Amino acid sequence: MPTKLGIIGGGVMGEALLSCLLSKGMYAPDSIMVSDLSHERRQLLTEQYAIHTTHSNREVIAEADTIVLAVKPQVFDSVMRDFSGATVSEPPLVISILAGVALSRLEKAVPGWPVIRAMPNTPATVGCGMTAIAVGSRALSEHMELAHRLFSAVGEVVQLTEPLLDGVTGLSGSGPAYVAIVIEALADGGVASGLSRATANKLALQTVLGTAQLLQNTGMHPAVLKDRVTSPGGTTISGIACLEELGLRSALIEAVRAASSRSRELGKASN
Ligand SMILES: NC(=O)c1ccc[n+]([C@@H]2O[C@H](COP(=O)([O-])OP(=O)(O)OC[C@H]3O[C@@H](n4cnc5c(N)ncnc54)[C@H](OP(=O)(O)O)[C@@H]3O)[C@@H](O)[C@H]2O)c1
């Protein structure tokens, strides 16, 4: 890994990346620096991870060879003003995780610098994220590989072209909310069938987790697993018939499409 990683914005996502990179030994504490406006955040990150923190984004820009932008999209313009006039011998790689900020806007803010756009999701905060990355016109294969390795610290990574990031937003970005609703609804069904709330929650959560793990570990197609647990005239086929009648499958398809299309609209408005 390169020598110095700078993270601008030490909030939820900045800390998730920081903590996983350190715990996996991908960076040493003295190779990571974080800038954040909040004194409390800086103090907490320094105490917890023994890293250098600063209030100055310019210090990070001057010293890091890879910079992760992890602030809210609303402060993008003000943060990018800190980049103007920066004197660097070799332009650092800038990786932005800001939702909805296009590569063209990033490249305009740091002309001539290599940039990459990454879109992680909330499970990254527990190291089980899904990140999609799209590379800018100046990024080389070594930059792409570096971004890939960085985000593999917080889960799985795929590389896509930028237009597909709206679909990513609709699926893996918004997906944790859909899955949370599915888990909640399964538990409600358990309670309706006489289970205590605590037992129903535990069963619902472990069923979703275990099924995902089984599919991932075996590489089995979901339809094959569904067929395996569906015996003729049995309980599961009765449940599935109900799901099909009430439209779970098409509801999820439409939810992903609606969220993707909303992402496209918001992107057009803000870039
Ligand atoms: N959270 C997620 O699950 C998730 C998933 C995918 C993508 N993202 C993207 O990740 C980015 C960060 O999200 P987050 O949830 O980590 O936000 P967050 O917790 O609010 O973290 C942002 C941090 O940046 C600090 N900050 C604000 N202005 C700054 C400046 N000018 N210079 C340096 N630091 C500054 C904030 O301090 P103050 O609080 O004092 O303002 C805060 O500590 C967002 O753009 C979001 O779109 C988040």
**C-alpha 55 – ligand 1 centre gap (Å):** 14
Indicate the top mutation candidate among 37, 75, 106, 154 to test ligand 1's pocket, ranked by most ligand atoms within 8 A of CB.
Answer: 37
Q: How many whole angstroms separate alpha carbon 205 and alpha carbon 203?
A: 6
- Report yes or no on whether pTM surpasses 0.85: yes
Each residue's pLDDT expressed in tens, for the chain with a length of 271 residues: 657 999 999 999 999 999 999 999 999 999 999 999 999 999 999 999 999 999 999 999 999 999 999 999 999 999 999 999 888 888 999 999 999 999 999 999 999 999 999 999 999 999 999 999 999 999 999 999 999 999 999 999 999 999 999 999 999 999 999 999 999 999 999 999 999 999 999 999 999 999 999 999 999 999 999 999 999 999 999 999 999 999 999 999 999 999 999 999 998 887 7
Q: Which atom of ligand 1 is nearest to the CA of 13?
A: 16
Q: Helices in the chain by DSSP H: which ranges? A: 12-23, 39-49, 57-63, 76-81, 103-109, 141-152, 165-168, 175-192, 197-218, 222-228, 235-246, 248-270
Burial of 182 (0-12, 13-18, 19+ CB in 10 A): middle
First to last CA, the chain: 32
Which protein residue's CA is at the shortest distance from atom 25 of ligand 1?
9
| 30 DSSP 8-state letter | G
Q: Which residue has the tokens 């016109």?
A: 137
Q: Which atom of ligand 1 is nearest to the CA of 9?
A: 24
8 Å CB contact between 33 and 60? yes
* Residues in contact with ligand 1 (CB, 6 Å cut-off): 8-14, 35-38, 41, 57, 70-73, 75, 78-79, 97-99, 120-122
Which protein residue's CA is at the shortest distance from atom 21 of ligand 1?
11
Q: How many whole angstroms separate alpha carbon 11 and alpha carbon 94?
A: 18
